[in-house]
Amino acid sequence: MLIISKKASGSGLAGIEEFLKGSKGIIEGGVQSDTFVKIKCVGGTGHVQIGRNSYINSGTVIYSGSVARVCRTLREVLHGE
């Protein structure tokens, strides 16, 4: 399942693969991605969450095999805020 906020924006050259087999992709509001960003679903039940107002730099590849969480601050990572 893939959930993308209407307030997220990205380059036309960024790509997100379909999330299958129970894995989930969540891209929150204010997220921006540069060119050649890839988010790849590699199986398993790993989730990818890109937190609000985060920026993903050019050439970044994020895999869903385990849990991947991109946040603005360490506090968001530790406390889920």
Residue 78 lies in a domain: no
Residue 42 lies in a domain: yes
Residue 61 lies in a domain: yes
Residue 11 structural domain: 2-71
β-pair partners for 16: 39
Residue 12 lies in a domain: yes
Residue 44 lies in a domain: yes
Residue 77 lies in a domain: no
Contacts of 15 (CB under 8 A, 6+ apart): 37, 38, 39
Is the pLDDT at 65 greater than 80? The verdict is no
Residue 76 lies in a domain: no
Alpha carbon 76 to chain centroid distance?
Answer: 15
pLDDT score for 64: 80
Q: Give the pairing type, strands 2-4 and 55-56.
A: unpaired
Is the pLDDT at 81 greater than 60? The verdict is no
**Which is more confident, 66 or 26?**
26
Domain count, the chain: 1
pLDDT score for 53: 86
**Which is more confident, 65 or 7?**
7
pLDDT score for 22: 75
As a whole number, mean pLDDT of residues 14-26 equals 80
